[in-house]
Structures are given as C-alpha cells and as structure tokens.
Chains A and B, each alone.
Chain A
Amino acid sequence: MATDDTHEIEVEGLSKSFGRRPALHEVSFCVQAGGFLSIFGPNGAGKTTILRILATLLRPSGGRASVAGHDVREDPMPVRAAIGVVSHEALLYGDLTAHENLRFYADMYGLADRESRIGELLERLELSHRRDDLVRTFSKGMRQRLAIARAILHRPRVLLLDEPYAGLDPRAAGILDGLLAEIRPDHTFVMVTHALEKGLELATQAIIIEAGEVVFQSAGPVDAAEFAVVYREHVAEGAVA
C-alpha cells in the first residue's frame, strides 16, 4: 500500500463493530513523523478501540489504517515491531522479576544488545535496585515505570499511550514526563487520555471522539482554553478533567 512518507500514521474511514454494536464509524486522521496526537472523549467513545486497531490487537471492520508505512490488517508484523504500547494494564508477569520480564520481551523482539539495554532502562527508570524482585511486589507506580521500559525496550518508532498517567504518583508522573521529553524527538505518539491539560500540553494535534465518530479535529497545536470550550460543546460537562 502506498503511504505518504511524512505520515507515520494514516487512518482513513476506519470503522469497527462488535457484533451489531458499532464502536467506530468512518474515523480518519493522520499523524506526521515526530508528531503527538492526543485523543479525547468520554468513556466508551471508541478511543481505546482506535489504539487497539493501531496496535494490531483488533481488526478493523472497514476502512484502513497504516503505521510506519504498513497496513495494520494486511501487514501486521512490521507494525508490531515499530510500535510500543503503554496502557493502564502493565502487561507484565507478576511472578517474574523486573529483569526476567524485560528479558522475556527483549527476546520476543529479537534484541541484540539485550542485557545492556535492560540495564540502561532500569537505571533510567530508577528501578535498578528492584531488578531481581518479583513484579507482584511492586507498587502501581513502579509497575507503570517498568511498563514504560517494556514499551520502549525495542526502540519503537511509534508509541501508543492509553491513559499512561492513570494511577501514577507525582514522582512516577515526573519520571514519565522526563522520559517522554527525552524520547520525544525520535518518536511519534498517539495518546488516549481524559486529562485535558496534560494531553494538550504534549500534543501537536488533537481530536475529540464521541460515540465512535470524530467530532473535532485540530490540524496543529491547540490552545487549551479554546479547546476546553470545544470539548464542553461536544462532551458532557462533567467529563472534563
């Protein structure tokens, strides 16, 4: 499939139904390489469904989506190699140590410099001292930091973030902020969030999804005050974070 070289992510007329229940309807957007798209919307709007389709975890019912130049339905393997996913679930094995979890994922991604990369990330995320502890003994914040290490272990081009700040204490949120700032120039981001302020602070573009449809889309950086007004127009007042 031919894709625009400057667009790391292209979504065109994307639809998804679960049985008879439509979850997405004709969703379209593009994200340029190095861009940061924040997706807002109320619960059940279809935000996570978009992310799961981009991550090849769900097959679209209609339309198309490509990541890093590869169609998510026709050519999912290179897409999986190109993405890292941070969700509210850590996707870590509680009965394995931090090192064993990262070693497992390093082998799954075929990393050549496994041990040095694991050491570097554990150091960067301030988890070196818990390297050989079982993950089930970790706090929520520590799990989330390790989840970030898992997501960027294989140096993905695209990071898909599903409420990455959910449940983080200020220290862990600060570490995540620092890490995102550090890797920002080399990555393209899509973040699903309810946190309007944080989402807009990071975004180069933003969309609002409601009932499976894009109801607002900005082409460039967004003014927080203006966006809040637009958000309230489309989404129930109480949903604004």
Chain B
Amino acid sequence: MGRRQYAAILRKDLIRELRTREMLVSMFLFVMLALVIFHFAFSVRAGTDLTYFTGGMLWVTFVFGALLGLNRSFAQEKDEACLDGLLLCPVDRVTIFLAKMSGNLIYLLVIQVLAVPVFSLFFIKTSYAVHLGPFLLVVLLADLGICALGTLLATISMSSRARDLLLPIVFLPLVVPVLIAATAATTGIFARGDGLGSLGGKLLFLAVYDAIFLVAAYGTYEFAIGE
C-alpha cells in the first residue's frame, strides 16, 4: 500500500468534510433524533428499566447513521466527476479502499463520541465510563466491520442510478451479524457488567467478520471500483 497516497486520499476527504460537513451533520442529526425518539417511545412510564434494550437501541441507531455517511462517501466523487481523476492515478485500488474506509470509520467514531454521552444520560443508570474499556473494544470491532462492508458495497453501488436505494438493500442484510454480536455484547456490558472474559466469543466473532470483509475487499476491489 502507498502510505503517501493513502494519506493524500484520507486528508483530501477530511478537508472536504470539514468544509462542507455534509456527512457529519446529517449523521449527527439522525443519531440524535433517533435517540430522542427512542427516549420518548420507551420511557412512557418514568422509572422503566431500559437497560436490556440499550444495546439494540444504540446499534440500530449507529448502523442507520453510518448508512447515511456511507451513501455519501463516493457520491461526492461521482457528483464532481472526480472518480476518473482518482482512478487515473497509479495507485493500488486497495489503497483507495483503505483510505475511504478510514474516512468512514473516523466519521462514525466522531458521531459516537458525541452520541454515547447523550445515550448514557437517557438510558443507562450507571456511568458508561465504568465499562469504557470493553465497550470501546466492541465499538471499534463493530465499526470496522460496518465500515469495511459498507465501503465495499458503497463502491459497488455508486455506479447505479438507484444507489441511494441499492446500498441499504444490500448492506442491511449483510450487516445483521455485526448488529447481533455488537448488541449482545453492549447489552452484556451495561446490563450485567460483562468484562473482557465474558465477551470473548462475541469479540472473536466481530474480529472474524471484520477479517472476512477486509479480505473480500482486498480480493475484489479492483473489479468493484472498475467499470
């Protein structure tokens, strides 16, 4: 992988996003609105214990929030007809994938850093900081899977005129394993205080899922981003 080229693509995407804030603002608003809606929908009676629903609420929100960003990650290249410029460069296509995936990962992490304190305020009785170590590991592994799969599928769907519809249709069924594992792990952390020992199987599952889609992207990206 060309490190200079990887850094150039990532820096370019981050500069553009900091200027336009297209993805970050839409993802942030969506995630916050979803959490507020969940708060009102489930907290009809004061004092309802929502601890066992926390994992599901959090990861459904993050997956749909990530989808908004993923849909835009290549749309910008297409809208400004810059994809040809990128493809004309003597750069390994896997480098393009890794840089784009890293950008998506950074946007998702930024949104999560902003959303988790709000989530904690609404739904968790104890401070999330107590469980920060295991929770961070779950977040990183789940995010990597979401972004690896999402970036690959966003690339494949970008040439379609119906890309806004196509991406959710192919992404959501394939991301279900991550959703299940991340939800179970997060609920375990906040409801039962599970530590790394108890989460081993779920973390391993997430790591294997990540590895599968990273390898799949490595093997297919040349064709995915081609014609």
Residues of A within 8 A of B (CB): 55-59, 77-78, 80-81, 83, 85, 87, 89-96, 100, 103-105, 107-110, 150
Are B7 and A107 closer than 8 Å at their CB atoms?
Answer: yes
Q: With contacts A95-B19, A96-B15 known, is A57 near B87, CB below 8 A? A: yes
Query: In the complex the two chains form, what is the Cα distance from A100 to B87 in whole Å?
Result: 18
Residue of A nearest to B12 (CB): A104
Interface residues of B (CB under 8 A from A): 2, 4-5, 7-9, 11-12, 15-16, 19-20, 80-82, 84-91, 226-227
| B16-A83 in contact (CB<8A) | no
Q: A78-B90, A108-B89 are in contact. Are A89 and B84 (CB under 8 A)?
A: yes
Counting chain A CB atoms within 10 Å of each CB, which of B16, B20, B88 scores highest? B88
With a cutoff of 8 Å between Cβ atoms, the chain B residues found around residue A107 in the complex are 4-5, 7-8
Docked-complex contact A59 and B82, CB < 8 angstroms? no
A147 closest partner in B (C-beta)? B85
Q: How far is the CA of A92 from the CA of B88 in the complex (A)?
A: 13
Contacts of A108 in B (CB 8 A): 5, 8-9, 86, 89-91
Provide 12 A-B residue pairs closer than 8 Å at the C-beta atoms, listed in order of the A residue. Answer: A57-B87, A57-B88, A58-B227, A77-B90, A87-B84, A95-B19, A96-B12, A104-B8, A104-B12, A105-B85, A108-B91, A109-B90
Knowing A96-B16, A104-B12, A105-B89 touch, does A110 contact B84 (C-beta < 8 A)?
no
Given contacts A81-B90, A87-B84, A110-B5, 15 further A-B contacts (CB under 8 A): A56-B87, A57-B88, A59-B227, A80-B89, A80-B90, A89-B84, A96-B16, A100-B12, A103-B8, A107-B8, A108-B5, A108-B86, A108-B89, A108-B90, A110-B2
What is the minimal beta-carbon distance from A131 to any residue of chain B, in angstroms? 16
Question: How many Å lie between the Cα of A110 and that of B95 in the bound state?
Answer: 14
Q: A22 → chain B, closest Cβ, in Å? A: 16
A94 to B11, CA, bound (A): 15
Is the beta-carbon distance between B80 and A150 smaller than 8 angstroms? no
Determine the chain B residues whose CB is within 8 A of the CB of A104 once the complex forms: 8-9, 11-12
